Amino acid sequence: MMITEIVFAALVIIILTGALLAVGLKNVFYNALALILCLFGVAALFIYLNSEFLAIMEVIVYIGAISIAIIFAIMLSRPMTQKTEPENRGKVIRSAVLSALFFGVLAKVIASTAWPIASEQGDYSIKGIGKMLLSTQALPFEVISLILLIAIIGALVLSSPEDNAS
């Protein structure tokens, strides 16, 4: 049907605009906001694909946690009116090479994975993901929680007042 294609096209335009603005804009705060727009578009794409749970998680984790952490870091590090630094050619080339490498790896992974259609209608992702996390995927799940635990302990150690120094 025609309307589904229009919606899909609109979502793709939103995602691409957000991504391009996130890289292209000069003000670093606007970059973060554009990134949020891009992530929100991805969440909407999940809803378009009948996977509400993934959409919700995209918003909670990527917008609610990661983007807010990014904005917090920007806000703590620079005043609003400060001028942005001039573009550094070496930096741009380095990040372009790294991004190209990362893109290549991701493209390889995506291309070599079989994508079965889980369900034509309805959302079974909550049950499916829950069962997989606690059975076949239990080990990666635990490893991720261990990494998070290490990050939390590290943050606590770094931010604790140094009693011995004084």
- Residue ranges that bind another protein, judged by CB under 8 A: 1-3, 29-30, 33, 36, 40, 52-53, 55-57, 59-60, 63-65, 67-68, 71-72, 75, 80-81, 122-123, 126
Q: What are 122's two structure tokens?
A: 């309805």
Residue number, 20 or 107, with CB nearest to another protein: 20
Measured distance CA(124)–CA(126) in Å, rounded:
6
CB of 143 to another protein, least distance (A): 21
Query: 27 is written with which tokens?
Result: 């003000």
| Contacting residues for 39 by C-beta, under 8 A, at least 6 apart | 18, 58, 59, 62, 63, 67
Residue 5 or 109: the one with the smaller Cβ distance to another protein is 5
CA distances from 85 to 11, 31, 67, 82, 163 (A): 33, 14, 22, 9, 38
Select 126 or 133, whichever has its Cβ closest to another protein.
Answer: 126
Please state the closest distance from residue 152 (CB atom) to another protein, in A.
Answer: 11
The nearest distance, CB 37 to another protein, in angstroms, is: 11
